[in-house]
Chain A
């Protein structure tokens, strides 16, 4: 036994290749909920019927081509119906498209409403004048006048400085934009309703928009 055979040492751990981590693709819309199609219906108010007819192609193309959502107008029920497709990549697309159509119904322009499809953090906020202050008769009409300004000047100034879009439909006000921006726009609109003159609101807006620009 001169030749000492080296003890065979088995390695403590056998490096067996681990099975590869499974990569699950996110479920497609039609695979969820047992392959049922998902629906959204957006009702069309009578005053937006004609504009919808005119802008139908502008609404239809991005929804159908980009978002891969089926869209049709139900003339009988006066509703725009949206439905997921087999090749719809994301479920959220359906909701985004519904939001987009809804924003158009509220009165936003197509180029502005399309931002709802393109971005995630945009919201539409709606409130009424009477939520801020109970105004009656002439006071109310003057408040609406203050909100929009001469030729919509005040409204555009607020829109441009806060990066939002505002729709003033009678006493209802809709704001489209990012959350923090909506807040700024809303506060300035509220102070206008409460009766502060436009110049004061402008000067406040200037300061606030500068601060907003510095922050981001």
Chain B
């Protein structure tokens, strides 16, 4: 066979000679490999007549497709080979008869090993393992003299070994107790049936059917005009809220007697009790709200809204009606509007020092003089009289 020289064989030889690291680099070696595989395919064809391919189709096919072709051919071939090997294991004499073929097959295996498709390698290894398995079987078959008891013991022994190994080996993560996502392999939890109780009800799966039924329901209700959803009954307040009592931590302005007095009045006659702090607050709030309402009314419509009656004590000034009709602006005070004669109620001729004439001054001086004269004329007479009246008194007392 080695003497046969054709391109397929040459390619095979070439592949054999190349170093394994070269396979990794992209080069013309793929071409060579294709030729070699094609050669091998055609060589194996006669052993597998059921194969749909006459020869390996290489041109325009990628590695995966080529591999599929090889796979389709080699699958039945391998099974038939397995069968053959089993047959030979039963009666080893036949191997000698067909030594030639076995040699060829082993040779083939070697060749295919060299292929850049690792999967094929694995496959063949499997085949070999099968061979070895049968080999070991042969060995077992060799010491068939064991008694049933010994067989039993062997079985038990193997079982024990298996169990010990299982005990010693690191356990699966599911049996290790508490574990986090970082400690277990990726996506490993997907395959495990985790049996634990969920606290919440699983969310309903919303499918198209569900939405369709819901929509139908709503549509039906709209058509029937049936809007009778159950209304939530308002929870009635069972008790009035207890007023939170605030501790007043400032010095009380009332004396102790007044405090007790207020308490007594509250007890004796609640109607006359003075307003508490909260009452005053309420009153103030209502006044504020009324003010706000007035402003809002004014904004919302232009009709006249009467001012609300605000219960507040105010000083009523009895202003004459005339004052209301005064035209003067509000900013001007009444005092500024008085006439001069209203301000100076005295005689009409009032003049400043600079306005006085010579005669006026003379007149003023004369007047002053007359006044003084009159006064000085009165005083001495009075004094004299007083003396005269007092003297007799003292005299009488002395007497």
Residues of A at the B interface (CB closer than 8 Å) are 109, 111-112, 114-115, 118-119, 122, 149, 152-154, 156-157, 159-161, 163-165, 176-178, 202, 205-206, 209-210, 216
Contact = CB atoms under 8 A, between A and B. Distances in A.
B36 to A, nearest CB: 94
Given A156-B248, A156-B252, A160-B248, 4 more contacts: A112-B256, A115-B255, A153-B249, A160-B247
Contact of B260 (A111, A160, A178): A178
B256 A176 contact: yes
Given A156-B250, A156-B252, A216-B267, A115 B257 contact: yes
B260 A163 contact: yes
A154 B249 CA distance: 7
A147 B254 CA distance: 22
Contacts of A159: 252
B295 interface: no
B257 A111 contact: yes
Interface in B200-257: 245, 247-252, 254-257
A114 B258 CA distance: 10
B256 A152 contact: no
A163 B247 CA distance: 12
A159 B267 CA distance: 20
Contact of A109 (B249, B250, B255, B263): B255
Given A109-B255, A159-B252, A160-B252, A115 B260 contact: yes
Nearest to A108: B256
Chain B's interface size range is: 10 to 19
Contacts of A163: 256, 259-260, 263
A122 B261 CA distance: 13
A154 B251 CA distance: 10
Contacts of B255: 109, 111-112, 114-115
A216 B251 CA distance: 24
Nearest to A111: B255
A114 B257 contact: yes
B256 A165 contact: yes
B154 to A, nearest CB: 82
A156 B253 CA distance: 11
Contacts of B249: 149, 153-154, 156-157, 160
Nearest to A178: B260
Contact of B263 (A112, A157, A206, A216): A216
Given A156-B252, A160-B252, A216-B267, A205 B247 contact: yes
Contacts of A202: 247
A164 B263 CA distance: 13
Contacts of B247: 157, 160-161, 202, 205-206
Contacts of B254: 111
Nearest to A160: B248
21 contacts: A109-B255, A111-B254, A111-B258, A112-B255, A112-B257, A115-B260, A119-B257, A119-B260, A122-B256, A152-B251, A153-B249, A156-B251, A157-B249, A159-B252, A160-B252, A161-B247, A164-B256, A165-B256, A177-B256, A205-B247, A210-B245
B254 to A, nearest CB: 8
B91 to A, nearest CB: 102
Given A154-B249, A160-B247, A205-B247, A111 B256 contact: yes
A149 B251 CA distance: 13
A3 B388 CA distance: 106
A216 B259 CA distance: 14
Interface in B251-284: 251-252, 254-261, 263, 267
Contacts of B252: 156, 159-160
Contacts of A164: 256
- Report which residue of A112, A177, A202, A210 has the largest number of chain B beta carbons within 10 angstroms of its beta carbon: A112
